Amino acid sequence: MTGPSYRELHARSLAQREEFWLAAAEQVHWDREPLRALDDSAAPIYRWFPEAELNLSYNCLDRHVQAGRGDQTALIYDSAVTGTVRSYSYTELTHEVAQCAGMLRELGVAAGDRVIIYLPMIPQAPIAMLACARIGAVHSVVFGGFAAKELASRIDDASPDVVLTASGGIEPTRKVEYLPTVDEALRLASHQVRHVVVQAREGFAHSREEFAAGWNASASTSSNTDPNTGSNTDASVDSPAHWHDWAGLAARAEPAAPVAVRATDPLYILYTSGTTGRPKGVVRDQGGTAVALTWSMQAIYDVGPGETMLTASDVGWVVGHSFIVYGPLLVGATTVLYEGKPVGTPDAGAFWRMIQQHRITALFTAPTALRAIRKTDPEAALVADYDISSLRHLYAAGERLDPVTQGWITDALGVPVIDNWWQTETGWPIAANPVGIEALPVKEGSATVPMAGYDVVILDAAGEELPAGQEGNIALRLPMPPGTLPTLWGDDQRYIDSYLAAFPGFYTTGDSGYLDADGYLFVMGRTDDVINVAGHRLSAGAIEAVVASHPAVAECAVIGLQDELKGQRASGFVVLKSGRTDDPKTLQSELTELVRRDIGPVADFKTVAVVAALPKTRSGKILRKTMRQIADGEQARVPSTIEDASVLEDLIPVLRPRR
């Protein structure tokens, strides 16, 4: 080992914060170089690399072309559901991004404006994200599995002028029509979107023209109506949303050059569920993101120029932002955009096929995917059908990687399996195994150790630090490192109230766990009411609001129960209104459909039990955590403030069969 050890590096990142991160920033191209790392003048709101300027799109694309590596593959689009594989060199991807950026600019989008991206896993998704970064616009990617209400709430919060979408997404057994959802969301939203740009895909029932006819009626007499697209091309027209054809609009656009923006400007907004049901717009800044992702690609994922990384996630989630799009391209690697599933497209060997075909060195997926593969191919027999010798590491994040699954996949692949733990809010791992610096011994069930800049502590309910081995609230001492959220979109106070108020001086992760004597972090589960379904954080409150809207339901609770495949599953418990005698099976079917319609299929809400009453504290708080502990077979912690203990006792037979 030629460089510093992990322990030395981590200690320096905390004790010599300025020097450490300014040195890390040297790996990034700056239009105006940073003179200092941290601005703490408005603490607890911190900003990284104040006064510095850069462009993320230039850092991800143009600089590699200018360095003579334009012919190297930047992006591989591998669609198992359509049988398509297409590669983009750095030169080709730079051109596509510049054209898309020009299209946005001609629609009136400028630096600081917001753009909603509602796309499946097709090349236009990363192209759109990088195009926004190119002109300094703020993108907000909304996962294509979300329903119209969820999309509308994000439109209202972000106030975009433009929505970028496609005809739909393709699942192994069905096609998901996007345009009716976008149309409904525009009608539900209070904010008026002016332009919708549609990437056409074959085989969908609804076309752009169908919706353009209705929305563009008020502009149909304009002399600026394009004869090929049927949409108004005058971005200044004050009228309902104009629906454009992506290919036609981009082809006519003048390519846009990268624009230097401040390091503290927002790069994107990514919404995560709040416990109240109102989504929280996590902000990611420009400079901190560039520095943190560059550092993590080298130190954690051990991926560099010319190497290939497959992150089997979705661009709608933070993993997709960080390690499908920005991270690999920042270091000049090749990234694989996979449209498919770990099983069923066509079988449980999908990942192993791509490793062989694309010579992948790092695979990043969710424990849910690994459990699905194990369920379908328990002996991992399909691994032997492929040459996976290029693979150096497998990374897993999204929910807890259980030791059984970790041991199984380690034996199957014969490479280190690295659990890493982070959140939408942090943007990159809080804890991982820094194999690019020093490969530490793996402890199954642990995410290994805190990464650079993260000062992880375990606190009790009073905010006192707990010794090694004792479980408590996982908290991060402020300031957090670059790349983490500086605030929530348009709401500094909600950021403080949501994350910083519980333990002053610390960011509260909402997870519980412990540090062992070696400094290894073990994350045991959520301490709040956010449900983690296959790595997707969903608000129990939002699901409850939908369930409670049913005319038969007087009261309800939704909790996340342990699930072998998906980590957690949402399970509902409802109290019927007096006099209602609804058939439980019919009610369950109706509630499932309601949640699917209003939240989206991603909630995977299928289990409902009708109960006489719900256990509560005297102040009226439903004891969701206690219910969850009973259902999961844990030692339940029943608070002394319980209103009626007999209600909980009566509920135990209902909860325990749901394990």
Q: What rounded mean pLDDT belongs to the chain? A: 90
Instruction: Indicate whether 637 pLDDT > 90.
Output: no
The domain ranges of the chain are 530-658
Global pTM?
A: 0.84
User: Rounded to whole angstroms, how far apart are CA atoms 222 and 231?
Assistant: 10
H or E stretch at 98: helix 90-106
Instruction: State how far the Cα of 513 lies from the Cα of 474, in Å rounded to an integer.
Output: 6
Closest CA to 339 of 56, 94, 149, 75: 75
Between 452 and 147, name the one with better pLDDT: 452
Residues 453-472 pLDDT 10s: 999 999 998 999 999 999 88
pLDDT higher for 227 or 71?
71
Confidence band for 518, pLDDT divided at 50, 70 and 90: very high
Which is it for the CA torsion 408, 412, 413, 415, positive or negative? Answer: positive
Helix, strand, coil abundance in the chain, percent, nearest 5: 35, 25, 40
Least confident range from 46-50, 120-124, 147-151, 536-540: namely 536-540
Is the separation of the CB atoms in 506 and 457 below 8 Å? yes
Regarding predicted confidence, which is higher, 600 or 300?
Answer: 300
Token pair 């610096």 is found at 437
Q: Is the Cβ–Cβ distance between 531 and 538 less than 8 Å? A: yes
pLDDT digits (tens, 9 = 90+) for 530-587: 677 777 767 677 788 789 889 898 888 898 888 878 888 889 999 888 788 899 999 9
Partners of 458 in beta bridges: 474
Higher pLDDT, 643 or 496: 496
Which tokens go with 54? 């850069």
Beta-bridged to residue 478, according to DSSP, are none
What's the whole-number mean pLDDT along residues 71-100?
A: 98
Name which of 437, 439, 498, 450 is nearest 476 in CA terms: 450
What is the tens place of the pLDDT at every residue in 222-240?
Answer: 434 454 444 444 443 345 7
Dmax over CA atoms of the chain, in Å, equals 75
pLDDT at position 225:
47
* The pLDDT value given to residue 19: 98
Could you tell me whether strands 536-539 and 530-533 are parallel, antiparallel, or unpaired per DSSP bridges? antiparallel
Given this model, what pLDDT does residue 178 score? Answer: 96
Rounded CA separation 412/377 (Å):
11
Q: Helix or strand or coil: residue 255?
A: coil
DSSP for 591-638, written as a single string: HHHHHHHHT-GGG---EEEE-S---BBTTS-B-HHHHHHHHTT-----
> 93 with 133: CB under 8 angstroms?
no
pLDDT above 90: percentage of residues in the chain: 68
Please name the amino acid found at residue 92: E
Whether 620 has a pLDDT exceeding 60, the answer reads no
Handedness of CA 213, 214, 218, 224 (dihedral sign): negative
Q: What's residue 277's pLDDT?
A: 55
CB-based burial, 9-43: b 16+ in 10 Å, e otherwise? bbeebeeebeebbbebbeebebeeebeebbbeeee
Question: pLDDT tens digit string along 388-421?
Answer: 999 999 999 987 787 888 988 999 999 999 999 9
| Separation of alpha carbons 564 and 550, rounded Å | 30
CATH fold of 530-658 reads GMP Synthetase; Chain A, domain 3 (3.30.300)
Cβ neighbours for 327, distance < 8 A, ≥ 6 positions apart: 293, 294, 296, 297, 301, 309, 428
The confidence band for 274, taking pLDDT boundaries of 50, 70 and 90, is: low
* Residue 60 DSSP code: I
The pLDDT of residue 142 is above 70: yes
Contacts 24+ apart (CB under 8 A), 576-584: 576/552, 576/610, 577/551, 577/552, 577/553, 578/554, 580/552, 582/552, 582/610, 584/608, 584/609, 584/610
CA distance 582 to 587: 6
